[in-house]
Amino acid sequence: MFSLMANCCNWLKRWREPARKVTLVMVGLDNAGKTATVRGIQGENPQDVAPTVGFSKVDLKQGKFEVTIFDLGGGKRIRSIWKNYYSESHGVVFVVDSSDVQRIQETRETMAEVLQHPRIAGKPVLVLANKQDQEGALAEADIIENLSLEKLVNENNCCEMSYGKKVDKSIKKGLSWLLNNIAKDYEAIAERVQKDTAEQRALEEQDKKERAERVRRIREERCVALLRIKSTKRSTKDTMFCNRLQKS
């Protein structure tokens, strides 16, 4: 009876626990299947997915977790924005196109850059080997070898990685694995996220002020140049511009 009561109390305690909010970033090369993966997690049809330009945001409920996924575009030009989302992420989903053998080196280099970033290193990472159902796709063992996954994990203090295949139960199983690993150290990761996010916002605010100062100096220099021109040759618009600048 005592054991039964204890089990009931433990179940009631878990049931009353508030949902944990988790933010994940989903990255990978363009055409790896990131957006199709998100749709698969949501239970939607992954077919006819257009390439992500910039990013898309998805909110979903997964057990006791309220999950926000930032699906980030994978084109070369857009990858520079990935780091702007690292500070608020509790974990990473890196999607690999198993059938794109020609770009496996690019995938390895890109993954290494992600894992080596100070705001990612040590956080749980899920690697999804997508499109393994396509002809000529690399097998799981070949992906591990070609991406040097064991070396990357050891060098960057990451948790163990999990491997999903196509948009099926493997992906949801992989997501469950990732969330469970986050839950094991949730308080520490959440504290780190809060700290990193505050630092990121401070840097963005400082950058904003510096840009505003640069614009102010450029306008001031322009005004000085205009004032050197004889008043008869200055336009009314230029004169009004300088007067506003001097009053500000």
Q: What is the pLDDT along the chain (248 residues), one digit of tens a residue?
A: 344 454 444 544 555 567 899 999 999 999 888 888 888 777 766 565 555 556 789 998 888 899 999 999 999 889 999 999 999 999 999 999 989 999 999 999 999 999 989 999 889 999 888 887 788 888 888 888 888 888 877 776 665 555 554 445 677 888 888 999 999 999 999 999 999 999 988 988 888 888 888 887 877 777 667 565 655 555 555 666 666 655 55
Residue-range domain boundaries for the chain: 2-184, 203-247
Report whether 138 belongs to an annotated binding site.
no
Report whether 112 belongs to an annotated binding site.
no
Q: Which CATH number fits domain 2-184: 3.40.80.10, 3.40.50.300, 3.30.420.10, 3.90.380.10?
A: 3.40.50.300
d(CA 167, CA 35): 11
Question: pTM for this one?
Answer: 0.77
Report whether 132 belongs to an annotated binding site.
yes
Report whether 243 belongs to an annotated binding site.
no
Report whether 130 belongs to an annotated binding site.
yes
Contacts of 158 (CB under 8 A, 6+ apart): 115, 121, 122, 123, 124, 125, 152
Question: Counting beta carbons within 10 angstroms of the beta carbon of residue 15, is it exposed (0 to 12), middle (13 to 18) or buried (19 or more)?
Answer: exposed
Report whether 28 belongs to an annotated binding site.
yes
Report whether 34 belongs to an annotated binding site.
yes
